Chain A
Amino acid sequence: MRLALAQIDCRLGNIPANIATHRAACAAIQAQGGADLVLFPELSLTGYRLRSDIYRAMLNAADFAQVWAMLCAEGAVPPAMSVALGYVELTDRSALHNTTALLRGDNAQPLLVHRKVYLPTYGMFEEERYMRPGCRFRIADLPMADGDTWRVGILCCEDAWHSSAWLIMQAYGVDLVLIGSASPGRGVEAERLGSQTSWYGILSTHAELLGCWVAFCNRVGFEDDIHFWGGSAVFAPTGELLAEARTMEADLLCCTIDKSAITTARLMTPLAADEQWPLTLTELKRAVSERWEE
């Protein structure tokens, strides 16, 4: 499939401006030959550090449908193109979530809605101060024009720092993991930002262990004191870095990925096929009940 990572800047609480940025990114992708799937960063429609003003940027189902319609207006999103984007969701139980939705240009019904499970609330992060954790990881099957079907899973930023989330993705047998991120830049001792070094290690290792494609789209820009470092990237089922975007600047990364690379990787190193699921589940249950439950 043709995959595009839209490494954009986002304006805090400014949904109209952010819709325009999404539309411009889609237009740029069309100009570069189009894509089957576009990945935007975490909370791309709202910006990240909303703090106590989060309620001014939240979207319930009807609001979001309207926003999606505005984004797609005048053919900005081709019918067969899928888009993964982020926003603050207000559910019908009045809970706020850090949500990523995957939709196709020809359909207002999302293919997949992922509510971020792991909300970092330590140090500079305070997501769980304002939002509630999701309770599932989800996958969707995307049919391509060439007849291939891609099984796609979504993780959001901190989710990807939990190996358990990757294990779940592996259990579902995903071909491609999409990760939208708003990662602040830190760690200035070495050639690269510490954040980038840590992230790329995680992504490469898990791409290789799962034998799947991994797409990481991190935003750029500043919000008050913090800055986001970009560095969006695509990792192959061997763990190799296939494509890398610029750091600290808006960018657009387009590449073609194919399922045969997955098959090859898994034939050479059949980790998922060798995985002993019943053992894993039994051990997890045992360890958790011994160590984690009261």
Chain B
Amino acid sequence: MFDRRSLLNINPELVHRILVEAIRHTGEAITGKARGRWVLNLSGGLDSSLVAFLAADAVGPENVRALLLPYKTSAPSSLHDAMQVVEALGIDYRVMEITAAVEGLYQAKGMEIAEASGRARGNVMARMRMIFGYEECERWGALMIGTSNKTEALLGYTTIWGDNASALNLICDLYKTQVRQLARSIGVPPVILEKAPSADLEPNQTDESDIGFSYYAVDTVLVRFIDHMMLPQQIKTQLHEQQGDLGIDWEGCVDKLCGITTRTEMRPGLVDIMEYKRRLTPIVPKISRATIELDYRPPKQWGR
């Protein structure tokens, strides 16, 4: 019998080990200390909760500080869930409302906050959280650990220079489905495992209603498109054969995510369009003999 999830399965112990080593190595390579300090923005969601568990395991709870940064419209349950993580791990934490900072920004711009679209305001919040995080890093002598996952990075469900700013984007090579597997294995509290993922930038928003497909559907398509280099038509055929009875619109999902690239038609998919959010060094026109990123591409950790 075909195991519907087999392409997304991970061995959580193996992944756990690799990620813990990555935290220690990166800390050492950048700061010279294997048991360096890390700051993370803990939203109470699945991704940041998992990162908190891994960081505490890697460097000890005394070297991890969580920032809980609600906005006035944030769901109160998010804060409650984040506190559960903090208490379970015994890590240091700060709770700071970002409302005044966000409103102050709009005031300084001479705008009414209601003039800004939901998305614009959401991006300001995400970037504000980044600033809070980096300020904390500077003061406490820590590095910023990121909490993005591979699914959202591929879909562009991120804010440029916001939630994807970090020294180590720890779980950004794990699909949401895999984040969940690892989180379950490592002991993230059940209430966090079970709730509907949400960016919580607007009231009652859930990721899956925004995207229009469940994470299961999206990850099933993405792992084939990205990790197994299957073409969209091959993915559609395979999923129809193997998972046609789940009532998921595989055609629609593949078209949206992967687009259409044939001899007669070119329609980039969401994953293609969102590359600009992943390649964050801005485009630089080439003038010299050795342009940064094009010719001059040194390793990040020279000598380490």
Contacts and interface: CB of A to CB of B under 8 A. Distances in A.
Indicate, yes or no, whether A interacts with B: yes
Contact of A12 (B15, B26, B295, B303): B303
A49 interface: yes
Contacts of B10: 188-189
Nearest to A126: B297
B14 A193 contact: yes
Contacts of B9: 189
Interface in A27-56: 49-53
A12 B302 contact: yes
Contacts of B14: 188, 191-193
B230 to A, nearest CB: 15
A227 B21 contact: yes
A183 to B, nearest CB: 14
Contacts, number: 59
B119 interface: no
Contact of A224 (B21, B300, B303): B300
Given A51-B297, A193-B14, A11 B22 contact: no
B169 to A, nearest CB: 9
Interface in A157-174: none
Contacts of A248: 17-18, 21
Contacts of A17: 303
B286 interface: no
A4 B298 CA distance: 33
Contacts of A191: 11, 14
Contacts of A190: 11
Interface string B1-44: 00000100111001101100110011001000000000000000
A11 B9 CA distance: 33
A222 B297 CA distance: 18
A121 B117 CA distance: 46
Give chain A's interface secondary structure class: loop
A244 interface: no
B299 A222 contact: no
B288 interface: no
B11 A50 contact: no
A128 interface: no
B296 A52 contact: yes
B18 A188 contact: yes
Contact of B303 (A14, A49, A51): A14
Contact of A13 (B17, B297, B302): B302
Given A188-B11, A248-B17, A222 B22 contact: yes
Name the interface size band of chain A. Answer: 20 to 34
A184 to B, nearest CB: 11
B101 to A, nearest CB: 33
Contacts of A52: 290, 295-298
Contacts of B26: 222
B304 interface: yes
B264 interface: no
Nearest to B300: A224
B303 A222 contact: no
B302 A221 contact: no
Contacts of B209: none
Contact of B299 (A49, A192, A193, A227): A49
A60 B128 CA distance: 51
Interface in B259-304: 290, 295-304
A189 B11 contact: yes
A11 B303 contact: yes
Contact of B21 (A192, A193, A222): A222
A188 B175 CA distance: 13
A84 to B, nearest CB: 25
Contacts of B29: 222
Contact of A11 (B6, B296, B298, B304): B304
Contacts of B304: 11-12, 14
A68 B303 CA distance: 20
A112 B264 CA distance: 56
B298 A227 contact: no
A33 to B, nearest CB: 31
Given A12-B303, A222-B22, A248-B21, A53 B11 contact: no
A193 B21 CA distance: 15
Contacts of B15: 188
Nearest to A14: B303
B32 to A, nearest CB: 12
A189 B295 CA distance: 36
Interface in B66-87: none
Interface string B194-216: 00000000000000000000000
A117 to B, nearest CB: 24
Most buried by B among A12, A49, A191: A12
A243 B72 CA distance: 60
Closest 4 CB pairs of A and B: A222-B25, A53-B298, A52-B297, A14-B303
Interface of A: 11-14, 17, 49-53, 185, 188-193, 221-224, 227, 248
Interface of B: 6, 9-11, 14-15, 17-18, 21-22, 25-26, 29, 290, 295-304
Given A52-B297, A224-B301, 12 more contacts: A11-B303, A12-B299, A13-B299, A13-B303, A52-B298, A188-B11, A189-B9, A189-B11, A191-B11, A191-B14, A193-B14, A227-B22
7 contacts: A11-B303, A12-B302, A12-B304, A52-B290, A52-B298, A190-B11, A221-B25
